[in-house]
Amino acid sequence: MERCPAGTGAIARAARRLAQGRLVAFPTETVYGLGADATNGRAVAAVFELKGRPQFNPLIVHLADSDAAAGHGIFDDRARRLAEAFWPGPLTLVLPCRAGSPLNELVSAGLDSVALRVPAHPVARALLQACALPIAAPSANPSGYLSPTTADHVADAFGEADLLVLDGGPCPVGLESTVVDLSRPDSVGLLRAGAVTPEQIEAHAGKVVHADAGAAIRAPGMLPQHYAPHRPVRLDAQTVGPGEALLGFGPDLPAGAVLCRNLSAAGDLREAAANLFAMLHELDQPGIAAIAVMPIPGEGLGLAIRDRLARAAAGH
């Protein structure tokens, strides 16, 4: 971990790090974010790894402006009005994913919606300008801890990590952004309360429904709209059955699959996490009897991969 004041030189260096697939913690007006290039699956996997989360929660993608956001999400009139009123600022919009967006699927944890935010903090804005990348960033705390509102909080938590912490002083809002779900045309869901109030949302987008006890926040993997393949998923497969596709892991794959992908020939869990959702999509083809998934080690990022696969398997 290296920490430096968020001057022009440090921001340029942070932008280069992001482009290399490495991580940068940076201040926003709400809390510090743990940022990665949102188009780079390995970099996004490294964020989950560093947070130590046993599940893949969908992450917020930070963008320089509304035009950049429009490349990744589909804005209806409600979304346009909210963006106009509150961006840049502490509001996150969950919108249907735009086809062709280069975001890695791990960012949305395989959902067909994506959370977008244009932050107002000058350091966050300068970093987004400098790197010209969408930055996926959860709050920069280890899973289960409080969100960080100073560079000290981040530095204390991630002392040993390969991380550059841009110190921009304390976060002025100190509370995470309001998350509004506009992924369905018939409802405005409040997924997380924040600095932008429900009344302010209602003034621009109509009646707000408070999402069921924060279910989406605590367990996004449980959401009914969460991606599950159409074909059955068979876990911890050592062999391939008739008509099965194979999702492999490691150097030695069993023979006989009608279709095959390997999460990581090197047995690298970060690479596997980066490939997980895209490869499930690729194997979920008509005519496949099932997707046989080789055993994934239950340690580190492997826990989150196994969690996600178990949910995919339970869908049938």
- Residues at the contact surface with ligand TXA, assessed by CB under 6 A: 28, 30-31, 33, 57-60, 92, 94, 108, 111, 113-115, 117, 137-139, 176-177, 179, 191-192, 216-217, 220
Q: Does the bond joining 134 to the residue before it have cis omega, within 30 degrees of 0? A: no
Choose between 55 and 139: whose C-beta lies nearer to Mg ion.
139
Choose between 89 and 248: whose C-beta lies nearer to ligand TXA.
89
Min. distance of Cβ 158 from Mg ion in angstroms?
A: 14
Min. distance of Cβ 63 from ligand TXA in angstroms?
A: 11
With CA atoms as reference, report the closest residue to 137 among 194, 62, 192. Answer: 62
Min. distance of Cβ 34 from ligand TXA in angstroms?
A: 8
Choose between 22 and 72: whose C-beta lies nearer to ligand TXA.
72
Residue indicated by tokens 């430096």: 4
- Burial zone of 148 (CB within 10 Å; 0-12 exposed, 13-18 middle, 19+ buried): buried
8 A C-beta contact, residue 33 and residue 44? no
Tell me if residue 125 falls in helix, strand or coil: helix
- Tell me which residues touch Mg ion (CB under 5 A): 139
- If contact means CB under 5 to 8 A according to the sort of partner, which of ligand TXA, Mg ion, none does residue 310 touch? none
Q: What share of the chain is helix, strand, coil (3-state, %, to 5)?
A: 35, 20, 45
Choose between 145 and 243: whose C-beta lies nearer to ligand TXA.
145
What's 243's DSSP letter?
A: T
Choose between 147 and 285: whose C-beta lies nearer to ligand TXA.
147
Q: Which amino acid type is present at position 292?
A: A
Min. distance of Cβ 162 from ligand TXA in angstroms?
A: 19
Choose between 53 and 231: whose C-beta lies nearer to ligand TXA.
53
Choose between 22 and 226: whose C-beta lies nearer to ligand TXA.
226
- If contact means CB under 5 to 8 A according to the sort of partner, which of ligand TXA, Mg ion, none does residue 275 touch? none
Min. distance of Cβ 281 from ligand TXA in angstroms?
A: 16
Q: How far apart are CA 183 and CA 316, in angstroms?
A: 25
Give how far the C-alpha of residue 208 lies from the chain's centroid of Cα atoms, to the nearest Å.
Answer: 24
The pair phi, psi for residue 62, each rounded to 5°, is: -100, 135
Min. distance of Cβ 141 from Mg ion in angstroms?
A: 6
Min. distance of Cβ 124 from ligand TXA in angstroms?
A: 8
Q: How many CB atoms lie within 10 A of CB 213?
A: 8
**Both structure tokens of 78:** 């409600």
Residue nearest to Mg ion (CB): 139
Contacts for 48 with CB less than 8 Å, ≥ 6 apart? 56, 106, 273, 301, 304
- If contact means CB under 5 to 8 A according to the sort of partner, which of ligand TXA, Mg ion, none does residue 191 touch? ligand TXA
Looking only at Cα atoms, what is the longest distance across the chain?
A: 60
